Amino acid sequence: MSEYERSRTMPAQPEHVFDQAANVGQLDAWLPDALHVRVEEPPAVTVHEDHTDQATSALMRAEREQMRIEWGTRDQGSYAGWLQVSGIGGGASEVTVHLSFFEDSHDPGERAALEALDDSLRRLEDQVRMRVEYASG
């Protein structure tokens, strides 16, 4: 089993960050470029990976009261993950993303996983900034 985790501070209230992260219609805007999520009957989703051209059945749950999103494969239990948003004061938030790979065949390796997490958090921050600027402008 392999586990990877990254955090990033974002200049927005935790509710704004969580709402953007949990917006299933805009997941492709911040997830790694090679992953695409299609919502079925919640919490069921299908995740398509461009590199392998495979679609995987998964579950995704967003708990606004806890500011937490959890996901994982449905049938084979290959991977799971979570995103947690925490307020840190001054109108800022910290977002932590954690991935667990239970099968080596799904583990992209440490370097690729950490780069994907960093890129996804950067893209999420960009989406949050656009939303906050649009709301205030």
pLDDT digits (tens, 9 = 90+) for 31-57: 988 888 988 888 999 888 887 888 889
pTM: 0.90
The amino acid at residue 97 is V
pLDDT higher at 80 or 35: 80
In angstroms, the CA 39 to CA 62 distance is 13
Comparing C-alpha atoms, which of 67, 76, 81, 77 is closest to residue 31?
81
**Vertex 44 angle, CA 40 and 47, to 5°:** 80
HSE-up of 43 (CA within 13 Å, CB side)? 13
